[in-house]
């Protein structure tokens, strides 16, 4: 099956610093990757759609200057949480579609990043 690698799996940082999270598709190409946020005991909340070679599409209410997304290649997307604050503490998960797959709405998920901002 397709593998998505997400790094780091957890990070603790001071308020005001920036944190970068990487999402890589290891054995397939992904023109589209999705970044989700998940609070405890809640479902996945889509933050943005990352498109290779173009600007990301952000969901309503998500600050694009706060959550910078770069999708520079068919296998890598990054999410940078800029000037992190405690309210940004959350579980962030990326997912990707296999561009070559017939049923390409099926998402493969990274293992997630638990961000704690002190």
Instruction: Answer yes or no whether residue 5 interacts with other proteins by CB under 8 A.
Output: no
Distance CA 88, CA 104 (A): 31
Shortest distance in whole angstroms from residue 32 CB to other proteins: 7
SS3 state at 16: coil
Instruction: Answer yes or no whether residue 110 interacts with other proteins by CB under 8 A.
Output: yes
Q: Which stretch binds other proteins (CB under 8 A): 4-12, 17-25, 60-68, 73-81?
A: 4-12
Distance CA 70, CA 14 (A): 23
Shortest distance in whole angstroms from residue 83 CB to other proteins: 26
Measure the N-to-C terminal CA separation of the chain; round to a whole number of Å: 37
Q: What are phi and psi of 87, to 5 degrees?
A: -70, -10
Shortest distance in whole angstroms from residue 87 CB to other proteins: 21
Alpha-helical segments (H) within the chain? none
Chain residues 35-54 in contact with other proteins, contact rule CB under 8 A: 41-44, 46, 49
Instruction: Answer yes or no whether residue 58 interacts with other proteins by CB under 8 A.
Output: no
Pair 32, 49: CB distance under 8 Å: yes
What residue ranges bind other proteins (CB under 8 A)?
A: 1, 4, 6, 9, 32, 34, 41-44, 46, 49, 57, 93, 97, 103-112
């Amino acid at each position: 099956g397709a593998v998505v690698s997400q790094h780091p799996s957890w990070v603790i940082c001071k308020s005001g610093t920036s944190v970068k999270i990487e999402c890589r598709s290891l054995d397939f190409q992904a023109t589209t990757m999705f970044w989700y946020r998940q609070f405890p005991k809640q479902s996945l909340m889509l933050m943005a759609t990352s498109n290779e070679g173009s600007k990301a599409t952000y969901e309503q209410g998500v600050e694009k200057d706060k959550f910078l997304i770069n999708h520079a290649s068919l296998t890598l997307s990054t999410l940078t949480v800029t000037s992190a604050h405690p309210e940004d503490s959350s579980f962030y998960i990326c997912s990707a579609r296999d561009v070559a797959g017939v049923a390409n709405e099926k998402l493969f998920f990274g293992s997630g990043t638990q961000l704690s901002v002190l």
